[in-house]
Structure 1
């Protein structure tokens, strides 16, 4: 377990209540922090850049990022403790001391950042999230949409941008929610399945750690781009990989392979150009950017069957299906609808 360091010179700590000790009216000086997915995303990027994993090299500075925090910053831990961080070096020390039971979750708005020599004030979570997207940071949205190291066990609950808690039943439904860039907060705990093992994830800190482990594990797993599909049976259904190497990178072996027949008859790549055609141009979300695609060849470059059943379209999209009753043109508002049309018309 990591030991928490007492940072007497780099930060000040105030516990629940968070009142100034020098004011007769403490309510006027209450420090308010907001739980922030964007903060946790940024801290995760800083930890990866500085190799903070227990025994750390703290030599890299935040100049490597597209913005620098303007200190001091007021942050809060998951246990409610509020701290004031005086410098970037102090922030690195705090991140080094984080554990699975004590970690940063909140920040006091507004705060300032320096970007290309200009000082910008960040007033709320929406502005903070826009900043990290501009910087290309790997958000939970990106990980869920583009990575298949493990599978979420559904249903899960999320809190949407309106503050309402909604239940998400499938991966497709979750992707449809995230693909529009909406910031959602996952309600923990959740369960995931990795290499046939069910793992309970208790908070965002643990989820980021799990994704970081996946990133580390995939760096040495290099596969060819040949298409020779194999399938594995998971708790969420049959998953098809383009080839055996990709399946093995996710922890499966030949003993886990099952027949792909039910999947191949409804597979997007097989159906494109035969069961249905796309109305181009369309846009694809790829690694945080929007890519315009003009033909089938270009589209298939952004189709990763081991990650998602269909490409990460920006909806709505229109396709022409060869149905039993003749050619029909359908405009689809989300991935779930697209999947259902493939299943119902491409058998």
Structure 2
């Protein structure tokens, strides 16, 4: 099937002000593109640099990135349509018209970039990821190390470095995948299998693709920071309790300093059985993982049958679950997405 070589794809109008007439000719040779997380990361940085937030704008700034594409480049939309882009201005025009239903997600390898005064050829996704890491872009790895903007509903599926689809059951496992090694680098680029759900401000949001995932994270305060993808947790005490950040950089992005840091693991004895029904109440039904299967639980007595304090401080819930805490200021309902969050909520509210 021939794919049309154009510079700009719009739903009803083709804008050709920047381009040569050859940009409207059919592509005679089949162009093979590859879906690229690094490309989507780069395009997200371009959009932020040019203040593109789903609005049409052609005010361009091409000096804010650490490299420039050598044009033309062949890109593809998520529906498979391939386009040839002849200039940075043309790329900005395309990005200004993206939507969550139609967005760029692929590129033809190899391509060239101008980086540190030299022309470099990028042959594959691994080399592309190394390039954006060198540029300290806000990658997918960085986004999931910001624990304060939203909570991911686990389990989720990801494609690992061996191209295998695996299940990630909690935040700890996810952090282990994306954190930097002792040398300060990470070679694995998080590849999430969408859709996933997140909880933000007690609302569950379904994220259908990488475009929507970056859009969500662009609204988080940490998206304006350049923090390394390493897990060296620090904690601060806020009005709602102790908040953990994946590293000091993320905490400083929220306005905290080293003087605000507190112990992330205060010595707190959690007796789930004694505070259930007194300090907090569960919203039933809930599901419990027991002997390899999910058991549906409808009341406190039933739940306590699956509470084994010698094994874990919290029953093995299938998250998210909802609990209402009886605080000094009145009932406070929390959507809980992990055991760590549940333990922190009990520690903060059931003293």
SS at match of 1:68: strand
SS at match of 1:198: strand
Instruction: Name the CA distance, whole Å, in 1 between partners of 2:151 and 2:235.
Output: 24
Match for residue 50 of structure 2? 50
Instruction: Name the CA distance, whole Å, in 1 between partners of 2:118 and 2:223.
Output: 38
SS at match of 2:79: coil
Instruction: Name the CA distance, whole Å, in 2 between partners of 1:50 and 1:179.
Output: 29
Asked whether the 8 Å contact 2:195–2:209 carries over to 1, the reply is yes
| Equivalent residue in structure 2 for 1:195, among 193, 201, 211 | 201
In the alignment, structure 1 residue 99 sits paired with structure 2 residue 105: no
Instruction: Name the CA distance, whole Å, in 1 between partners of 2:148 and 2:60.
Output: 30
96 and 107 in structure 1: CA distance in 2 versus 1, 3 angstrom threshold: same
**TM-score, length basis structure 1:** 0.59
Instruction: Name the CA distance, whole Å, in 2 between partners of 1:226 and 1:20.
Output: 55
**TM-score, length basis structure 2:** 0.58
Q: Deviations over 1:57-90 (max 9, x none)?
A: 4333312211110000000000000000010000
| Equivalent residue in structure 1 for 2:190, among 159, 179, 184 | 184
113 and 213 in structure 1: CA distance in 2 versus 1, 3 angstrom threshold: same
In the alignment, structure 1 residue 264 sits paired with structure 2 residue 272: no
Match for residue 68 of structure 2? 68
114 and 189 in structure 1: CA distance in 2 versus 1, 3 angstrom threshold: same
Match for residue 158 of structure 1? 158
In the alignment, structure 1 residue 127 sits paired with structure 2 residue 127: yes
Q: Deviations over 1:254-286 (max 9, x none)?
A: xxxxxxxx963269xxxxxxxxxxxxxxxxxxx
Q: Deviations over 1:165-193 (max 9, x none)?
A: 00000011001011142113100000000
Asked whether the 8 Å contact 2:217–2:223 carries over to 1, the reply is no
Q: Deviations over 1:38-69 (max 9, x none)?
A: 00000000000000124354333312211110
Asked whether the 8 Å contact 1:13–1:82 carries over to 2, the reply is no
- Offset at residue 117 of structure 1 (A): 2.2
* Structure 2: 5+ residue stretches without partners: 1-9, 181-185, 226-233, 245-249, 255-263, 270-351
Match for residue 111 of structure 1? 111
Asked whether the 8 Å contact 2:76–2:104 carries over to 1, the reply is yes
Instruction: Name the CA distance, whole Å, in 2 between partners of 1:74 and 1:145.
Output: 32
Instruction: Name the CA distance, whole Å, in 1 between partners of 2:77 and 2:106.
Output: 7
Quote the RMSD (CA, aligned, Å). Answer: 3.3
Match for residue 6 of structure 1? 14
Give 1:1-347 correspondences, 5 Å limit: 4=11, 6-8=14-16, 10=19, 12=23, 20-21=27-28, 29-180=29-180, 181=186, 182-215=188-221, 227-229=236-238, 231=240, 240-241=242-243, 264-265=266-267
- Offset at residue 228 of structure 1 (A): 3.8
- Offset at residue 6 of structure 1 (A): 2.3
Alignment coverage as a number of residue pairs: 228
Instruction: Name the CA distance, whole Å, in 2 between partners of 1:166 and 1:88.
Output: 38
Asked whether the 8 Å contact 1:156–1:190 carries over to 2, the reply is yes
Structure 1 stretches of 4+ with a deviation exceeding 6 A read 216-219
Instruction: Name the CA distance, whole Å, in 1 between partners of 2:120 and 2:223.
Output: 37
Q: Deviations over 1:292-341 (max 9, x none)?
A: xxxxxxxxxxxxxxxxxxxxxxxxxxxxxxxxxxxxxxxxxxxxxxxxxx
Instruction: Name the CA distance, whole Å, in 1 between partners of 2:94 and 2:166.
Output: 34
Instruction: Name the CA distance, whole Å, in 2 between partners of 1:187 and 1:58.
Output: 33
Asked whether the 8 Å contact 2:197–2:205 carries over to 1, the reply is yes
* Structure 1: 5+ residue stretches without partners: 22-28, 220-224, 233-239, 251-261, 268-347
Asked whether the 8 Å contact 1:230–1:241 carries over to 2, the reply is no
Greater mean deviation of Cα atoms: 125-134 or 52-61:
52-61
